[in-house]
Copies of this chain bind each other. A is one copy, B any other.
Amino acid sequence: MSPTVEFWFEFASTYSYPAALRVEDEARARGVEVAWRPFLLRPIFAEQGWQDSPFNLYPAKGVYMWRDLERICARLGLPWRRPSVFPRNGLHAARVACANEEASWLPDFVRCVYTANFAEDRDPADSAVLASILEGLGQTAAPILEASRGDEAKAKLRRRTDEAAAHGLFGAPSFRVAGELYWGNDRLEAALDHAAG
């Protein structure tokens, strides 16, 4: 059995974008499997007293983040365009991802949703955007979107979010390996190196 890293991501999270685009290739290069773990930051931020992204609540942090992310994407050769709205609501996309964590198309779906938001300024809260992504991946969108609105999908995402909080997660992206927590796109390599042993 291959070693595994849990990759915890929130679709609204800016630094999750480069991590989501990189994690599978970097994991494969080390013989590590990725367990995709969508969750919601909003309830976790609310526990900390934040009703908005800290990058909006603390403007100096926000100014820095946008410039830093632009530099990171340039260095990694990732497409980048600052979204005209931030944060965008990733709830629907997260329900789709959570209900389909094991689907073969899931990693591509995750990357497409991030790219839509952070490189194409398209809104993943729009069902038409999610449908076009799913169809682009050869899936029939309607039943997937329909199921993602059901009680089972909602409950599963709530469970994942509770699990994230129980594991001590406070931001995204986060990685878990053998009980160790790593936070941030900056820690992707350290987490994978740990998993690879």
Q: Which residues of A contact B (CB under 8 A)?
A: 48, 58, 60-61, 63-64, 67-68, 71, 168-171, 180-184, 186-187, 190
Contact = CB atoms under 8 A, between A and B. Distances in A.
Given A67-B181, A181-B67, A61 B186 contact: no
Contacts of A170: 58, 60-61, 64
Nearest to A170: B60
The oligomer's copy count stands at 2
Contacts of A184: 186
A60 B169 contact: yes
Nearest to A171: B61
Given A48-B58, A61-B170, A67-B181, 6 more contacts: A58-B170, A60-B168, A60-B170, A64-B170, A68-B183, A68-B187
A64 B186 contact: no
B58 A168 contact: no
Contacts of A58: 48, 170
A61 B186 CA distance: 16
